[in-house]
Structure 1
Amino acid sequence: MSLELEKSKKELEDAIKNEDLDIKKIFDISAKIDEEILFQMKFNEYDKIVRNNDSRELINSIKQELSEHYYGMSEQELIIVSLNIFDYSYLKFQHISENDIVKYICTKNAIYYDILTDKDKKSLKVDLNLKYFKYLINKYTKIIENEQ
């Protein structure tokens, strides 16, 4: 369970224990918990969607293109960015909303960032071109569509 969800549950318990119950606050906290649980369910669903048999080959292809376009990009950056591009392309192909895709990728990036060592974190500094990313996303979305 996420730290945010735990915090919200504690906040809800405290609000309920309070003698002068603030019903609006309780409903707001409950709604926030429901949203967090729903997002966790969506995150798990999207994670299953992107982990398909063809993903490794496409991710390696994206990684290769990135390494040719960005000289000196660290291995961690190549992995994270290629996964971001693949995830976006594949979830876009699956007709997942852009907001959900962005939230999924941001959450996944936060998880990766927490795993990196301090040395790896310091090496994350390549200036990236969003137009090139858009090009790669469109390219790999078409590749995925053609393979399906």
Structure 2
Amino acid sequence: MTGSGTGPATRAAFVAIGANLGDACRAVEDAIAALDNITASSVAARSSLYRSAPVDAKGPDFINAVVELKTALEPLALLEQLQAIEQRAGRERPYRNAPRTLDLDLLDMEGVALDTQRLTLPHPRMNQRAFVLLPLAEIAPERVSADQLQAVAGQQIERL
């Protein structure tokens, strides 16, 4: 990992992981391993796995997790790496909220506020989703308030 004075400085980035097709648990675990292999990045923390019902969609339950990366990459470069991991996992986008082999969402990046057509940080819907907030609270409790957790308390989710 860089950031020890010999390379570019790193910052924390939080990535939500979800899958609901095929062996979803294996897909999430494989994604965590792939995230740890991104250039100039390493996994600093990972949540437990969670099972959640699809939100605004149909299909099997999702397996979810959140990972904290330490990365020297800029936001769009990291997004490209995330999308490459999705593609290697067979991700298809036939329609909005379709079931998926793997979904990686860049939730937030330390010190970055961004609003472009390609990427918005922090993620605009992260505070509406229990499958993001519960795993995020597990690894970074200072980033999730009791009020945010209360707002999603009615959503079906189970820690595995």
Query: Fold-level match, TM-score > 0.5?
Result: no
Q: Which of the two has higher C-alpha Rg?
A: 1
TM-score (structure 1 length as normaliser): 0.34
Q: Of the two structures, which has the highest relative contact order with CA contacts closer than 8 Å and spacing of 6 or more? A: 2
Q: Give the structure with the larger helix fraction.
A: 1
TM-score (structure 2 length as normaliser): 0.32
